[in-house]
Amino acid sequence: MMHTGLFADLPPAARLSSALLASRMADRAPQGDAIKPMMEALGVKIAGVLAGLNPAPAQVTLASLGIVTIDFGRRQSETLRLVSARGTLRLRLAAGRDLDSLLCEAAFGGTGQMMHGDPALSEEHPPSHIEQRLRAHVFDAVAEALAQLLRQAGVEDLTCSASRDEARIKGRSPASEAYVARFLVTLFALSAEFEVQAERDVLRDLLGVGADHEDVAPAHAQLGLPGLAPCAVELAARLPRELMDFQRVAALKPGDLLELSARPDAVVEVVSGDRPVFRARLVPRSEGRLQLDIEGAA
Amino acid sequence: MSVETEAGQEARLDLIGRVPVTVQVVLGSVKMPIADLARIAAGSSLLLDQQLTDPVTVLVNGHRVALGELYVMEGEEGQLAVKITDVFRPRDLI
């Protein structure tokens, strides 16, 4: 049961750290960045949603865990879109067993003991899909809260997409850093990590912050025909071109070592088709993926 | 029709063999909506679909000729190198 009144009337125990946002991009964000207070307000809303799940006023403690840059390729199942003429914002809540337990405790007014040691609630014997329904409920509430905050910030044409078409939204957005607001929610004896992801560039576009000139439209809005925006292009990263004798490459066979003059920190050429579009540096990521840090146009 | 001498043929092959060609190694790629492409600027990051250990493609004058693994050579310079794992035959390229 949802107590919507608690959205505006949080229990005193709901607290939010002021140091909500920090990322490796933070030093590039303008001081007056409107994203930070908006995400802080979203944190308060989340506390309200969690508190509102419980018939009795619950002790909800909310602390920020900071912001990290995320790989959108790891996007998981529950994602919802907020669509505006200025961009599409994607949200995802962390959904795990800890959060499920916490939500069940919140909904049924437990003491933090119910989910522990009960064989009926083990992975092999799931009691029901109540956790999924609760998660969906919280997810919708948080998405609506963010939409409401964005509207208050002046984003008038924002709509929640009813569709959760994963095929359409699963794609990574490699061009965009992400703000990931991570909260540690403690309720009764349980804690769970709660995460809201939002693409940094889209947020900034939506809020109209960070532009050098206020009358300059976001880059993707200057493309012209709006229907072309989803058209996909393929970018390839190539090491610098090298000249070699034909006989050297003609004799190549498996096992041969083709020595290059480029070093690992070489400037990489990013091409679309055969046309160079960017210069970049290669950055190996901890999980083994290759990342390119763009230095500028080719 | 003149008959090419063996020495003449060798000279010709040697000449062809010394013709410079452009070699380039493709590390990987990523697909994205053109709207995202428009947002890329200095400071942006692109995450390629490939792992560091995935095969790279060797292009010669823009044509794919081989696959290989990327290595860093030992020594002070630490240049990159590609250990060839597969060579494309003409029918692979069709």
Evaluate if pTM is beyond 0.90: no
**Which B residues in the span 6-65 are in contact with A, Cβ-Cβ below 8 Å?**
16-48, 50-53, 58-60, 62, 65
Which of A264, A283, A288 has the CB atom closest to B51's CB atom?
A: A288
Chain B contact set for A268 (CB, 8 A): 27
* CB-based contact A72:B33 (threshold 8 Å): no
Distance from CA of A66 to the nearest CA of B (A): 20
pLDDT averages per 10-residue partition of chain B, 94 residues? 72 81 92 78 79 87 90 77 87 51
Architecture of domain B21-93: Roll (2.30)
Q: What is the pLDDT of residues A164-220, one digit of tens each?
A: 443 333 333 333 445 556 666 666 666 666 666 566 666 666 666 544 434 444 455
If we measure between CA atoms, which residue out of A53, A147, A202, A175 comes closest to residue B44?
A175
Q: Residues 6 or more apart from A218 whose CB is under 8 A from it?
A: A86, A87, A205, A211, B39
Residue B51: Cβ-neighbour burial (10 angstroms; 0-12, 13-18, 19+): middle
Q: What is the pLDDT of residues A88-111, one digit of tens each?
A: 566 666 555 667 777 777 777 654
ipTM value greater than 0.95: no
Distance from CA of A221 to the nearest CA of B (A): 8
Interface size, chain A vs chain B, as Cβ–Cβ contacts under 8 Å: 219
